[in-house]
Amino acid sequence: MDIDIDAVAERFAGDAIILDVEQVLKSGKEAVVFRCSAHPSTGVEAVAVKVYKDIEKRGFRDMADYLDGRIGRTIRKRRDILHMFSSPDSMQAYWVQAEYEALERLHGAGLPVPKPLAMCDNAVAMEFVGEPAGFGDDGEGGVVLEPAPRLRDARLGSGEAAAAKEALVAAVRRMLELDLIHGDLSPYNVLVREGKPVIIDFPQAIDARFHSRGAEMLSRDLANILGYFGKRGLGSEEEGRALAAEWWELYERNAL
């Protein structure tokens, strides 16, 4: 595993974010996510630390989409762009910062995303999204958390599914009001905590004001989500695309 978790753990322990690394939660092409015990100062039960793999050894199928808009937005800051491309480490740090800032902005606005806690050049520490799985046997009565399931795997009653759909649709609209589009939203990067959705994975979130394919990516996000709920008779891909077109027209007229 091409990840130096010891260095990252030392950094976040020094920042009073984590105490110990407990286990690997997820290993993907772009990053590895670890569950860590939380420092009491964080106010959360546990911490998820997402460590990005070396950018030179990762394949980003949508790298052009990721950079589109960011470069256009920062033409007035050419030194920032030159610095971003000056080395793999600089680009890595830029990528990590983009996810952290998206989480910070969305969490601050009250959207259902993990609480961001800290970042370093190649990792983001955030609230671990889990569900109670009982009580520990350490005599202290602590609640044991297990990872919240992905929406794709969650078992929701009909009422819970309808509420989750409405919550996600409202979150996507609110994100657009904040000029952000997830860009890769699907039932695989939405977790369900106690029946309520929590959206994750924001490194490729885009700025709707500057991205040349913003309307297309918004449409894809909504089609993915409403298409999934269509299996429960609660929507369809066509409904998602129609909703995206309506919102985009309002957004472009500054009327959303």
Q: What is the pLDDT of residues 52-69, one digit of tens each?
A: 987 655 544 455 555 565
Spatial separation of the C-alpha atoms in residues 17 and 38, rounded to whole Å:
6
Could you tell me where the DSSP H helices lie in the chain? 5-14, 63-67, 70-73, 78-84, 88-108, 158-177, 214-230, 237-252
- Coil vs helix vs strand at 223: helix
> Which of residues 2 and 155 earns the better pLDDT score?
155
Kindly tell me if the per-residue pLDDT of 139 is higher than 50. no
What are the tens digits of pLDDT across the range 177-195?
Answer: 999 999 999 999 999 999 9
Average pLDDT, the chain: 86
Q: What is the pLDDT of residue 93?
A: 72
Are residues 225 and 172 in contact, defined by beta-carbon separation less than 8 angstroms?
Answer: yes
Put simply, whether the predicted model's pTM sits higher than 0.85 gets the answer yes
